[in-house]
Structure 1
Amino acid sequence: MSKISKLFKGVSGSSSSSKSKHRARGGPSPHEAIHKLRDTEDMLTKKQDYLEKRIEQEVAIAKKHGTRNKRAALQALKRKKRLEQQLTQIDGTLSTIEFQRESLENSHTNSEVVRNMGYASQAMKKVHESMDLNKIDDLMDDINEQKDVAREINDAISRPQGDDFDEDELLAELEELEQEQMDDSMKSMGGLPSVPSGRLPSASTSYRATTKRREDEDDMRMLASWAT
Structure 2
Amino acid sequence: MSMFNKLFGKPKQESNALATLDKLNETLEMLEKKEKVLLKKASTEVEKAKDYTRAKNKRAAIQCLKRKRLYEQQIEQLGNFQLRIHDQMILLEGAKATTETVDALRTGAAAMKAMQKATNIDDVDKTMDEINEQTENMKQIQEALSNPIGAAADFDEDELEAELEELESAELEEQLLQPATTAPAAPIPVPAGRQTARPAPQKRTAEEDELAALQAEMAL
From the two aligned structures, give the one with the greater helix fraction.
Answer: 1
TM-score (ref. length: structure 2): 0.49
